[in-house]
Chains A and B, each alone.
Chain A
Amino acid sequence: MEEKYIKHKYEPIHPSKEEWPVVKLARERKEFVKKVADLSEDRILNLTGNNPDILKEELETTLYREKLRIKQNPWVVDPDDDSSFWSGVKSSLVQISTETVKSKVKKLQAYKVVLNQITARYAEEIASNFKTTHYKFTRSVVTYGFSRLLNAARVKGFKSIFSNQYTLQDKIQITGETDQLRDLATKGTVVMVPTHFSNLDSILIGWVISVLGLPPFIYGAGLNLFNISIFAYFMNSLGAYKVDRRKKNLMYLETLKTYSKEAIQFGCHSLFFPGGTRSRSGMIESKLKLGLLSTAIEAQRANFENGLNDISGKIFIVPVTINYHFVLEAPSLIRDHLSITGQERYYKENDEFSNSYKISKFLIKFFTKGSDISVSVGKAMDVLGNYVDVDGRSLDKHGRVIDTRDYFISDGKVSVDNQREEEYTNMLGKRIVEEFHKINRVFNSHLVAFVAFELIKKQNRKLDLFDLLRLPEEDIAIPYEEFKANCQLVLDKIKELKSQGLINTAPHLSLDLDEIISRGMENVGMYHAKRPIIRDKNGNIGTDDMSLLYFYHNRLTGYGLEKLY
């Protein structure tokens, strides 16, 4: 029997929205932005050693890159005064350097003014525009709209539009340590780190957070998403701040990190996609972008420095995996991945989420066909990757209570050591990847894609990956019985791993194997024009698109399952 997923109804942990950290932050937005700008300025001055020459060089580099960006890669969301602002910066810089009489101190002073203009502009640009009314509206639109769609699709008859038989929670299962998450969110500050496969993730996570009764989390969303009006509205109302990946200059990165750190210290629950961007290969992220993650560690240390040693100053890292049968952008993602890693011809990115029409079309498909999504919430950890108990205290591997503060102690005091924190960030990154693998839920579609690809690989042992992907699809045929036997083999191994707590599975994997296979084949990449797995007239297993099959197969790499072949 298939286990039943129990729908919980979660009460909000802060009934009054006035208590939401994000609301408090929005109220103090102006002061907060100023604080971020000033602190960023300090950081940059520190990094340049208060040396006017180095600072000048950094300012000039930033100016040059920004000019280049405006010219070569303008976006709809860019403010209108972008060009004039940077021209202003240019003339101030020219002016300072031509005034030769000025002393070093005076020069530094003048450069500092320019620097502050820049950090202030960046801070303002990054800061979120959270509005409670928008949030409530968006929330109800998402929930209401989705449930209407869902009921129309599943319950027959005219009145179905008004039926409440199905809710979004039937579509999207939330499993794992939800109670711990809710509990810790009332006591300390939570930083949620989900896997990232699809642009839909941002909205999905936003919805999950609200279903769990948690106040909105702030999170860094790619500025490119704000180009699309639907997304821009959603993002703003969900408390997103903006991350512009085109800007890689020191001033911008430092301002961004400062914003994130200060917001966490403020008590805002945050969300990072630690992979940085959607997983191109379909694999679970194994190399994390550590930039923003480091701000969680910094914020924790700063809290200890400020004497916040109890749970109210504690920061909890909560890994989350999102599991799909289907990733809308899979074809372009995998092509990106292949063109980056190797030999395929260069492929111009074709983003399936490029306009609102396509998204709406996808949403309708999504709700009218059964494609389930599950979100698994992992165990909370401290910023060093130690699990925490019900009271939020950190535990070591042997279950002994330890104090996170001790990690930052040197000579009996909390000390600032950037190099140390860099190493801690690497450690935390590794721990998150480990947790991702543990809480990842295997779906039937992942299983069949994995087995099909591995068998095709086995049939063509001599080919390397890129030749394999170029195999003519009509030449591929795996006898069903062989396929089934291998599914059993891999499934057994997965169950063994599960018993060791190294992976998780969806309840539907306890069905009869033929059923698992047929449902898995139906589900895997179900809306793609070319299906990753098909069954031909003779009942053999084949594929319409090897690259897509590879993409879905990748979900199960990193567990050593390949060794079965």
Chain B
Amino acid sequence: MDSKNSTEAKYIGVVGVGSFGAAIANILAAKNPVMVYARKQEVVDEINSSHSAQGKALAKNIIASNDPAQLCKSCDVLFFMIPSSGFQEVVKTFSPYLFPYHLIIHGTKGLCLNLKSGETLETVKKIKRSQILTMSEVILQETVAVRVGCLAGPNLSKELAQGQPAATVIASKYNEVILEGQSLLRSEKFQVYGNSDIIGVEISGVLKNIIAIASGALAGLGLGENAKGLLVSRGMVEMIHLGNALGGSIKSVMGLAGIGDLVTTCNSIHSRNFTVGYRLAKGETLDSILADMEEVAEGINTVRIIKAFLETADLRAPITENLYRVLFDDLEIEDALQFLMKYPFNVDVDFV
């Protein structure tokens, strides 16, 4: 049972080499040797032979493997950097090799569903909080690891890759996870904050994607900064109410993972969610947009899940509801905007 070998230097594990995974792997590699997991053999070979992953340059001390057992054996700390759609499956693949001494930090801003086999979002229509899983809840449910954390904040992969200054927040119930994450990631150009409200931080990161799509749509319509200010402010209020209903604290929405990430994503043409909204407003259909995107825009799936959750929660979330109708019910964006402008938001701040 003694799977520890303290004489050998440990690697830091990164699961997934998408743009965010690669950026984090490079930051980690500044201090420690890193082992990344990629499913495809050709990606593994590419990393090991030419230090790049599908065109993204990787540091020299990053090696790759497609064997979860090897990764779990060589690493005490693992960063899961995979889209929410594949998250459950990858975690299940790793589960047999994970032990309680592993620390897991994930950087996925999405939600999973916890439904009985055979059920899908289409068949159940309404979902309760217990049927929604944040990524940390997926890890806790599928594996024996308990010391789990998440990484969230305004971290656009492109800017991180260029070495521009940025900050992130690591949230975990366990101080040691936060401290470990800070010591691994912190550098002159990368500030790392801690937060004990992991659910609040995860939910903030998830919900801001919805607002980012809306922000892209406003930009696509050619609207100005006043409109964006309005959206960010109302979007935050909506995030606070939804976050509360999903078990997060108000404070976390006010932090780096909430308002910090919201402002970044709502202004960035690099953001995939923003791009979806922008192209929608330019008249493209959702199917055609999704067809030529390289990586998934988490916001789309989030809108669907939150819409189903709203059916059981005693709560209104006008931006999400109207965005859902635009995305899936063929509501024109101009009409949705009209609706929101007439919506009776009487009180400016009603959550403190």
Interfacial residues, chain A to chain B (CB-CB below 8 A): 384, 386, 396-398, 400-404, 406-407, 409-412, 417, 419-420, 423-424, 427
Q: Note all chain B residues with C-beta closer than 8 A to A404.
A: 100
Between A and B, 9 residue pairs with Cβ closer than 8 Å are A396-B144, A400-B96, A409-B101, A410-B176, A412-B6, A419-B174, A420-B175, A423-B173, A424-B146
**Which A residue sits closest to B172, measured CB to CB?**
A423
Q: Is chain B's binding surface mostly helix, strand, loop or mixed?
A: loop
Interface centre among B95, B96, B146 (most CB of A within 10 A): B146
* B1 at interface by CB-CB < 8 Å: yes
Report the minimal beta-carbon distance from A406 to chain B, rounded to whole angstroms. Answer: 4
> Are the C-beta atoms of A420 and B100 separated by less than 8 Å?
no
Interface residues of B (CB under 8 A from A): 1, 4, 6, 76, 95-96, 99-101, 144, 146-147, 173-176
Determine the residue in chain A with the shortest Cβ distance to B2.
Answer: A403
A401-B1 in contact (CB<8A):
yes
Measured between beta carbons, the chain B residues less than 8 angstroms from A396 are 144
Q: A387 → chain B, closest Cβ, in Å?
A: 12
Q: What does DSSP make chain A's interface, helix, strand, loop or mixed?
A: mixed
Given A384-B100, A407-B100, A412-B6, A427-B146 contact (CB < 8 Å)? yes
Residues from chain A with a CB closer than 8 A to the CB of B173 are: 423
A402-B100, A419-B175 in contact; A384/B146 too (CB < 8 A)? yes
| A423-B144 contact in complex given A384-B100, A398-B96, A409-B101, C-beta closer than 8 Å | no
With A and B bound together, what is the CA distance between A386 and B144 in angstroms? Answer: 9
Q: How many angstroms between the C-alpha atoms of A565 and B231 in the bound complex?
A: 43
Task: Output the nearest chain B residue to A413 by Cβ-Cβ distance.
Answer: B6
Of B6, B95, B174, which is within 8 A of A420 by CB?
Answer: B174
**Is the beta-carbon distance between A402 and B99 smaller than 8 angstroms?**
yes
Write out the residue numbers on chain A whose beta carbons fall within 8 Å of the beta carbon of B100: 384, 402-404, 406-407, 409
Instruction: Indicate which residue in A384, A401, A406, A427 contacts B101 across the interface (CB closer than 8 Å).
Output: A406
Bound together, the chains give a CA A544 to CA B249 distance in angstroms of 45
B175 x A402 contact (CB < 8 A): no
* Assembled-state Cα–Cα distance A400/B176 (Å): 26
A419 CA to B95 CA, complexed, in Å? 25
* Min CB–CB distance B97 → chain A (angstroms): 10
Given A401-B1, A406-B99, the answer on whether A417 and B146 have CB atoms closer than 8 Å is: no
Q: Which residues of the partner chain B approach A427 to less than 8 Å between Cβ atoms?
A: 146
Please give me the residue from chain A that is nearest to B144 by CB atom.
A396
Bound-state CA distance A411–B5 (Å) is 10
Contacting residue for A423 out of B4, B76, B174, CB 8 A: B174
A384 to B146: give the CA distance in the assembly, Å: 10
Q: How far is the CA of A139 from the CA of B301 in the complex (A)?
A: 65
* Of the residues A386, A409, A417, A419, contact of B4 by C-beta under 8 Å: A409
- CB-defined contacts of B76 to chain A, threshold 8 Å: 411-412
CB of A420 within 8 A of CB of B4, answer: no
A32 to B96, CA, bound (A): 43
Q: How close is B11's CB to chain A, nearest CB, in angstroms?
A: 14
- 19 extra interface residue pairs, beta carbon distance < 8 Å, beyond A406-B99, A420-B175: A384-B100, A384-B146, A397-B144, A400-B96, A401-B1, A402-B144, A403-B100, A404-B100, A407-B101, A407-B146, A409-B100, A410-B176, A411-B76, A417-B175, A420-B174, A420-B176, A423-B174, A424-B146, A427-B146
Contacts of A407 in B (CB 8 A): 100-101, 146
Write the chain B residue with the least CB distance to A410: B176
Q: Which residues of A contact B4 (CB under 8 A)?
A: 409, 412
Q: Which residues of B contact A406 (CB under 8 A)?
A: 99-101
A404 to B100 CA separation, bound complex (whole angstroms): 8
Determine the distance from Cα of A406 to Cα of B101 in the docked complex, in whole angstroms: 5
Which residues of the partner chain A approach B101 to less than 8 Å between Cβ atoms?
Answer: 406-407, 409-410
B95 touches A398 (CB 8 A): yes
Contact A417 B176 (CB under 8 A): yes
A243 to B144, CA, bound (A): 35
What residues on B are CB-neighbors of A401 within 8 Å? 1
Please, how many angstroms separate the alpha-carbon atoms of A384 and B144 in the complex? 10
A241 to B199, CA, bound (A): 40
Tell me the smallest distance from the CB of A411 to a CB of chain B, in Å. 8
Complex: A384 Cα to B100 Cα, angstroms: 10
Chain A residue contacts of B147, Cβ below 8 A: 420
- Cα-based distance from A401 to B173 in the complex (angstroms): 26
Is B175 touching A403 in the complex (CB atoms < 8 A)? Answer: no
> 4 closest pairs, A vs B, by CB?
A406-B100, A406-B101, A409-B101, A396-B144
The winner among B144, B147, B174, B175 for most chain A CB atoms within 10 A is B144
Shortest distance from the beta carbon of B173 to any chain A beta carbon, whole Å: 5
Closest CB-CB distance, B146 to chain A, in whole Å?
Answer: 7
List A contacts of B96 (CB < 8 A). Answer: 398, 400
Q: With the chains together, A246 CA to B96 CA distance in Å?
A: 49
Residues on B with beta carbons closer than 8 Å to the beta carbon of A420? 147, 174-176
**With the chains together, A417 CA to B103 CA distance in Å?**
15
CA A247 to CA B176, docked complex, whole Å? 33
* Chain B min CB distance to A381 (Å): 14
Residues of B within 8 A of A410 (CB): 101, 176
